[in-house]
């Protein structure tokens, strides 16, 4: 019988090390252990002794209980990472692991709360070569129709996605080459999106979000292997960008407003549609409003103005923020369903990670004198009155969350 900590899960150590962006050697230095030991713990050949596990947990800044939890089976659906060729495998693993943490947070919250049900149209295809441009335009309009968005500008893309049951996370990852990641989890049949904030502007963030939405809608049936074929990945990315353009700039309404396919004309439209001038040029080319020569001429002038680094109005628009996870946690804590300490214990993460993943203010989990034994009585709640989570006045959909025990 092997000695060591019973119940230790090697997969959790691999995930945690990836989430911190550490090699086995780097973790060994932080924990005062040998990299060969860490390798054996991750392979399952050996179990760490209690003292060693505490040292590793301290090095990774995670509670020991994290390494004893059974990993959730999220399924084999691919994680669509932007800029696969330019992004290191370690960076993709880091962001993927943090998205897994967000999925685990969501699953924990769903034990107590009814989050907005997933309501995302998808194409029933397993080969990206079957997807035509007409299909992309059609399903983008289907999303707008299903979510009651009409044909005008979308005031808040992240709010729309969260109301459709998509969990969105935004974090800084210290990489200039990776913009986002998306995945369908088998554990709850729910789509998830991770957006990097490193190069964030409002228009870029909205385009990144719509791009990841495109992957969720168009490419749910694809396999992970497809993404490692360079030619296939290039086409898959083009399709996601095409979806983003069709979703944010509907052909009928946007083309009617392009009175002048020029840089000043697009600049005048930017504040209304909250889409970059570069993206509007590409959309006009896709719609046939300008030809290839016109597109090249516009981008030449665009580059000459230095707009590839920063466009006009970029600083005037506040980037959108996700709400769903953060407001769900606030609801549970404010209504005394759980205390802040109990919530962190249940998530098996420390406060700084939960605050970052859920867009909560730093220090949210500090002790604020919460009385741990107070609970709302069932008969003291009007179960017919939902508690609003998202800002329903901004869009037509009015999804809410409510504690399951109140129903």
Contact 261, 294 (CB under 8 A): yes
Q: What pTM, to 2 d.p., does this model score? A: 0.89
Centroid of chain to Cα 273: 22
Nearest to 104 by CA among 321, 323, 325, 322: 325
What would be the CATH architecture of the domain defined by 1-71? Orthogonal Bundle (1.10)
Give 188's DSSP letter: T
Q: Model confidence over 100-136: pLDDT tens digits?
A: 999 999 999 999 999 999 999 999 888 898 999 999 9
Domain boundaries, the chain: 1-71, 74-247+322-354+371-407
Q: Which pLDDT score, from 0 to 100, does residue 230 have?
A: 86
Give residue-wise pLDDT tens across range 244-264. 999 999 999 999 999 989 999
The rounded distance, in Å, linking the Cα atoms of 190 and 211 is 17
Residues 344-359: pLDDT tens digits?
Answer: 999 999 999 999 999 9
Q: Could you give the CA distance from residue 179 to residue 162 in angstroms, rounded to a whole number? A: 19
Report phi then psi at 380, rounded to 5. Answer: -95, 5
Residue pLDDT, tens place only, 288-328: 999 999 999 999 999 999 999 999 999 999 999 999 999 99
């Amino acid at each position: 019988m092997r000695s060591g900590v019973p119940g230790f899960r090697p997969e959790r150590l691999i995930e945690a090390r990836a989430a911190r962006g550490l090699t086995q050697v780097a973790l060994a230095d932080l924990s005062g252990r040998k990299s060969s030991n860490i390798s054996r713990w991750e392979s399952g050949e050996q179990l760490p002794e209690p003292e060693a596990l505490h040292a590793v947990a301290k090095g990774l800044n995670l509670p020991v209980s994290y390494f004893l939890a059974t990993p959730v089976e999220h399924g084999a659906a691919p994680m669509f990472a932007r800029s696969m060729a330019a992004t290191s495998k370690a960076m993709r693993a880091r962001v993927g692991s943090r998205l897994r943490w967000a999925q685990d947070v969501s699953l924990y919250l769903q034990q107590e709360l009814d989050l907005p049900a997933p309501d995302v149209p998808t194409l029933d295809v397993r080969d990206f070569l079957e997807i035509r441009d007409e299909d992309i335009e059609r399903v983008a309009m289907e999303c707008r129709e299903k979510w009651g968005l009409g044909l005008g500008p979308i005031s808040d893309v992240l709010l729309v996605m969260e109301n459709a049951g998509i969990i969105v996370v935004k974090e800084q990852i210290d990489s200039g080459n990776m913009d986002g990641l998306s995945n369908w989890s088998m554990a709850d049949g729910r789509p998830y999106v991770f957006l990097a904030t490193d190069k964030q502007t409002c228009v870029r963030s909205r385009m990144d979000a719509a791009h990841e939405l495109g992957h969720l809608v168009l490419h749910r049936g694809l396999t992970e292997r497809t993404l490692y074929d360079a030619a296939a990945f290039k086409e898959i990315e083009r399709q996601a960008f095409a979806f983003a353009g069709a979703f944010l700039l509907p052909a009928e309404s946007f083309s009617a407003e392009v009175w002048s396919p020029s840089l000043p004309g697009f600049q005048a439209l930017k504040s209304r549609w909250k889409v970059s001038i570069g993206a509007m040029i590409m959309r006009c080319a896709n719609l046939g409003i300008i030809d290839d020569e016109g597109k090249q001429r516009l981008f030449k002038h665009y580059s000459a103005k230095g707009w590839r680094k920063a466009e006009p109005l970029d600083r005037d628009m506040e980037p959108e923020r996700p709400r769903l996870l953060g407001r769900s946690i606030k609801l549970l804590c404010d209504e005394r369903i759980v205390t802040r300490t109990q919530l962190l214990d249940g998530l098996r993460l420390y406060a700084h990670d939960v605050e970052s993943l859920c867009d909560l203010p730093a220090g949210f989990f500090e002790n604020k004198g919460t009385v741990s034994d107070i609970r709302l009585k069932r008969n003291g709640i009007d179960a017919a009155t939902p508690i609003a989570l998202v800002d329903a006045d901004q869009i037509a959909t009015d999804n809410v969350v409510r504690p399951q025990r109140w129903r």
